[in-house]
Chain A
Amino acid sequence: MTYQEKKSIVSIVAAILIFGLYCAYKYANYPAEGLTTDETFHYWGAFVLVLMLVSIIAHIVISIIFNIIFRMTTGEKEPRFADELDKLIELKSNRNGFFVFILGFLLAMGSLVMDGPVQNMFVIMIVAGFLSDVTGSVTRLYHYRKGV
């Protein structure tokens, strides 16, 4: 298995772990009483911002650890640049990821139109963001294994 394939798998596992653990942590701390509209926006705004921050930092740390383990186990250095195949695969993975996110965004707007609670809108958007990340990584893995 090549560097890019391993990296895609690590990326998928990391995304699932980070999102799963963060959601489990926030679920345990979810306010028991009903929230006012202002508090709801504040809670979910903080949820998204902290999730993004935690996710970026965790991805960087996992990427560094992965590169170290890759060098130690294979004796190879990770590629230092992206060539035409990498760029093509990146484009396809971004396209699929954005498509999933747009679907989630439309669903979230749909829930508002159907007079659903504001929480639903945030939950759908956050899940769409997560699924879009995973879709991008799965697309990358698929194209590195099966070709373009």
Chain B
Amino acid sequence: MAKNLVGNHIRRLRFNHNEMTQQQLADKVGVTRQTIVALEKGNYSPSLELAFRIAHAFGLPLEEVFYYGEHVE
């Protein structure tokens, strides 16, 4: 399996948004919890549409939720 180069801060953002659960985020953006788990593990690069929906769910621009390549916190 090729290394996924699209990373994200979903886990941290969920925590910062009143400790939102994976299921709550999944319901907000219209996917299953499994997909949120895969995204947080870095096992899946979402479609552009889903990436925008997740960013909107956190009220942030796309680049504050997702990044490409190496990222240093």
Interface residues of A (CB under 8 A from B): 2-4, 79, 81, 83-86, 144, 146-148
State the main secondary structure of chain B at its contact with A. loop
Number of interface residues of B (CB under 8 A): 18
List B residues at the A interface (Cβ < 8 Å).
1, 4, 30-35, 37-38, 41-47, 50
A-B contact count (CB 8 A): 42
User: Are the CB atoms of A147 and B32 closer together than 8 Å?
Assistant: no
A90 to chain B, nearest CB (A): 13
The answer to whether A81 and B44 touch across the interface, beta carbons within 8 angstroms, is no
- Give 29 A-B contacts (CB < 8 Å), ordered by A residue: A2-B33, A2-B34, A2-B37, A4-B34, A79-B32, A81-B32, A83-B30, A83-B31, A83-B32, A83-B35, A84-B31, A84-B35, A84-B47, A84-B50, A85-B31, A85-B32, A85-B35, A85-B38, A86-B32, A86-B35, A144-B34, A144-B38, A146-B1, A146-B43, A147-B1, A147-B38, A147-B41, A147-B44, A148-B38
